[in-house]
Amino acid sequence: MAAAAGDRDLPGPLVREHPARPAPGAVVERYRNPFPTVDVVIELMGRGDPPPIVLIERRNPPRGWALPGGFVDYGETMESAARREAREETGLEVELLALLGVYSDPRRDQRQHNVSAVFVGRAGGSPQAGDDAAGLGLFSAEAPPRPLCFDHELILAHYLAWRRGQRPAAPVQD
């Protein structure tokens, strides 16, 4: 029976066992692939119109403010990763509304090449900073704190265009 979307236990044909150590003289191929990541623009409902967005103050370098997000785990869908990262970093259960875009500039993260699927989501309640955050805040997307990390200033510009109906977004595929 196939695993459900988001499960980390994949069906047999998708999982290949590799020996811990290659045989002597074996050719080992290594690929430098970008890391898949997700980010979420979280609109906090019931706090005004337009709703404020949730930003995380990063504890680890690069320091500054960022959208909630992180790495996709093996066997996890982008959508599941977005909800998990939002929950871990803010304590909020987020409903994903749209896929805002995919951001792949190799320079978007100074640590390594990441490709990020960015979602727009909404949540209610009181967000709480996760243990990997120095802080958390609610801000107008038009006046976020500085500095913003990565390419999140560009993402917020695209989000504002989407809110004004000037930029398309894709539906979420659950």
Among 3.30.420.40, 1.10.357.10, 3.30.450.40, 3.90.79.10, what is the CATH number of 33-163?
3.90.79.10
Using CA atoms of 35, 171, 151, 159 in order, give the dihedral in degrees to the nearest 10. Answer: -170
- Per-domain residue ranges of the chain: 33-163
Report how far residue 129's alpha carbon sits from residue 91's, in angstroms, rounded to the nearest whole number.
7
Please give the pLDDT value at position 67: 99
Report how far residue 163's alpha carbon sits from residue 145's, in angstroms, rounded to the nearest whole number.
20
pLDDT digits (tens, 9 = 90+) for 146-165: 999 999 999 999 999 999 99
Please give the pLDDT value at position 5: 47
Q: Taking 50 as the threshold, does the pLDDT of residue 1 lie above it?
A: no
Give this prediction's pTM: 0.84
Q: Taking 70 as the threshold, does the pLDDT of residue 17 lie above it?
A: no
How do beta strands 35-44 and 114-123 pair? parallel
